[in-house]
Amino acid sequence: MIKLLTDNWSAFLSGFGWTILSSILALFFSLVIGSLVAILEVLPNKFARIVGNVYVEIFRNIPLLVITMFFYLVIPLYVVKINGFTAGTIGLTIYTSAFIAETVRAGINSVDIGQMEAARSQGMTFWQAMRYIVLPQAFKLVIPPLGNQFVNLVKNSSVLAFVAGFDLMYQANAVASQTFDTVNTYLVVGIFYLVITLPISYYMQYLERKLA
Amino acid sequence: MMKRLSKLVLIITSLLLFLSLSACGSKPLSEQNVLENAKADKTITWGVKADTKLIGLIDVKDGQEKGFEIDLAKAITQQMLGKKAKAKFVTVTSQSRIPLLKNGNIDAIIATMTITPERKETIDFSKSYFDAGQSILVKKGSSVKNVQDLNGKTIIGVVGSNSVQNVKKFAPKAQVLQLPDYAQALTALKSGQGDALTTDNVILAGMAVNNPGYELTGKPFTTEPYGIGINKGQKEFQTAINQALDELIKNGTYNKLIKKWFGDVPGFDYKGVLRND
């Protein structure tokens, strides 16, 4: 196992790097898009609510692989050429943002309606009340489920392997098929994923304790 | 602190458990005799391709595997075990075929696998049953005429096939993308994710049959003798397969199958792969 690791160190390391990069990008953008969609879903405007709802229901209910394949194989045919890494990261972002939207929406809904009413009665606009009163409380409530989504996102980034995105899983497939040492290769890769996901889990637990 | 410690212990023990489980499962298999098992239940389980036209392809209409390798596997099975014997087929990919053989899910691999020294360290091979050569498939009218033209361009291959390692020798400056299977690799070529698709000429010829906008270009730049993959330590099974293969070549069945599948494939010279003893 040690020999496997030293022989293929550069492959594993570059895969690790691409996985982290993809995860960070997808995490950032899915958090932004997810929060925006969540707000759409709680707006007084009925049309906005429908738009938010349709977004969530479509992307939450299509397999991640299908979304990714669509960006890798179909979009380049008709729109613009995108490589595997980008296609995978876009797929990951859209898919995860649907789940984050649902999580954040649940958070917003569980903040007492009186908070919004009180803020509005003090002369705040809807957006001000959202920004300063409701969202801070909502995010605090949804830290545990958000942590779950982040961990899932990192693991789901293995979808990049199917579109030649050079991530950990892609490198693992290549190494396994060259060395024929399947068991150890996937064990090593499992440990690499733990190196990313365990700190996220612990940080989320820490945040939960600190803010609760 | 205690909580964190007990969590760590739990993680380590579960990892150890997983390791020991994976270690003890494989022992009895190496002591089994594949040939005797096959004779006892009159069945050989073959790992075959399901996505390769002309070679091994699952027909969506009736769910049956069809292709040269499928027919050859059936012929070998009957030659070895008699007319009533059954050939069972399990779909494999370039990536999964050796692990599936090693863990005993299949008795033999007949799935466009080239005999290479690296693979011989892990498994045993029969005699070569087909001589393929690596080539490239491009869109008609492409500026790529042979493998050297691919320097600085992007080549699509399939994970686990030796063609992705080979092509780096002939076009060292090319970028290689490895996709999970041939169907996907071909779709990626059509989407413009790469400039050429590389693998063995027979496989590419099958793709060109279905996709008239694409053609094989240049001469094959390697020789790829295909062999039937067998687990190490199964000498009797290996000998029996080799004998069956010799018989099929001698009685003309082999050439009949070659003609049946490759007789009128554009861009593929079937006469070059006929065998006469």
Does the beta carbon of A163 lie under 8 angstroms from any beta carbon of chain B? yes
Place of tokens 């972002």: A93
Q: Is beta strand B124-132 parallel, antiparallel or unpaired with respect to B224-230?
A: antiparallel
Cβ A74–B191 below 8 Å, yes or no?
A: yes
Confidence at residue B25, expressed as pLDDT on a 0 to 100 scale: 47
B13 to chain A, any CB pair closer than 8 A? The answer is no
For residues B228 and B219, what is the distance between their CA atoms, to the nearest angstrom? 25
- B33-132+225-269 fold: D-Maltodextrin-Binding Protein; domain 2 (3.40.190)
CA–CA separation, B242 and B244 (whole Å): 5
CATH number of A2-211: 1.10.3720.10
Beta-strand relationship, B51-52 and B56-58? antiparallel
Q: Residue B94: closest CA among chain A residues belongs to which residue?
A: A177
A29 pLDDT higher than 90: yes
The highest-level CATH class for domain B134-217 is alpha beta
Number of CB atoms found within 10 A of residue A97's CB: 28
**Which residues of B fall within a CB distance of 8 Å from A197?**
none
Residues of chain A contacting residue B119, judged by C-beta atoms under 8 Å apart: 180
Q: What sign for the dihedral angle of Cα B108, B78, B205, B92?
A: negative
- Burial of residue A142 (CB within 10 Å: 0-12, 13-18, 19+) is buried
Is A95:A67 a contact under the CB 8 Å cutoff? yes
Nearest to B22 among A83, A177, A183 (CB): A183
Q: What SS3 class is residue A78? A: helix
How far apart CA A27 and CA A38 sit, in angstroms, is: 16
The rounded distance, in Å, linking the Cα atoms of B107 and A21 is: 42
A132 vs chain B: nearest CA distance in angstroms?
Answer: 36
- CB-CB under 8 Å, B191 with A77: yes
Contact (CB<8Å) B160/A173: yes
CB contacts under 8 A, A 25-54 vs B, are: none
Q: Where in chain A are the domains?
A: 2-211
CB contacts, 8 Å: A74 with chain B: 191
CA distances for A18 relative to A31, A38, A53, A209, angstroms:
20, 29, 32, 31
Please say whether the beta carbons of B267 and B208 come within 8 A. yes
Residue B22 contacts A, CB cutoff 8 Å: yes
Count CB atoms within 10 A of the CB of residue A205: 14
Question: For an interface test with A, which of B12, B116, B177, B232 has the most A Cβ atoms less than 10 Å from its Cβ?
Answer: B177
Question: For the purposes of burial, counting CB atoms within 10 Å of the CB of B267, is it exposed (0-12), middle (13-18) or buried (19 or more)?
Answer: middle
Give the separation between CA B259 and CA A58, rounded to whole angstroms.
50
Å between A177 CA and nearest CA of chain B: 5
Of the candidates A74, A81, A177, which has its C-beta nearest B160's C-beta? A177
Give chain A's largest Cα–Cα span: 68
Min Cα distance B179 → chain A (Å) is 6
Contact B115, B128 (CB under 8 A): yes
Q: Which among A73, A76, A173 has CB closest to B95?
A: A173
Please give the pLDDT value at position A132: 94
Q: Phi and psi of A55, rounded to 5°? A: -55, -50
What tokens were used for A33? 């898009």
Segments making up each domain of chain B, as ranges: 33-132+225-269, 134-217
Asked if the domains B33-132+225-269 and B134-217 are classified in one and the same CATH topology, the answer is yes
CB interface of B with A, residues 80-99, below 8 Å: 94-95, 98-99
Rounded Cα distance, A130 and A106, in Å: 14
DSSP-derived pairing of the beta strands B196-200 and B175-179: unpaired
Structure-block tokens of residue B140 = 């008609």
Least confident stretch, A121-130, A202-211, B21-30, B71-80 = B21-30
Q: Which residue has the tokens 């769910």?
A: B63
Q: Do A164 and B177 touch (CB under 8 A)?
A: yes
Residues of B in contact with A76 (CB under 8 A): 191-193
- pLDDT (tens, 9 = 90+) of chain B, 277 residues, equals 566 767 777 777 777 666 665 555 444 566 778 888 888 889 999 999 988 889 999 888 888 899 999 999 999 999 999 888 999 999 998 888 999 999 889 999 999 999 999 899 999 999 999 989 999 999 999 999 989 999 999 999 998 788 888 898 999 999 999 998 888 899 999 999 999 999 999 989 889 888 989 999 888 899 999 999 999 989 999 999 999 999 999 999 999 999 999 888 877 778 888 887 6
- Residue A174 to residue B178, Cβ atoms within 8 A: yes
Per-residue model confidence as pLDDT tens digits over A133-144? 999 999 999 999
pTM: 0.77
**Strand order across the beta sheet in which B154-158 lies:** B175-179, B154-158, B196-200, B134-139, B214-217
Q: List the one residue out of B112, B58, B69 whose CA is nearest residue B245.
A: B69
Tell me what pLDDT residue B15 has. Answer: 72
CA distance B275 to B277: 7
Query: What residues of B are in contact with residue A180 (Cβ under 8 Å)?
Result: 98-99, 118-119, 121-122
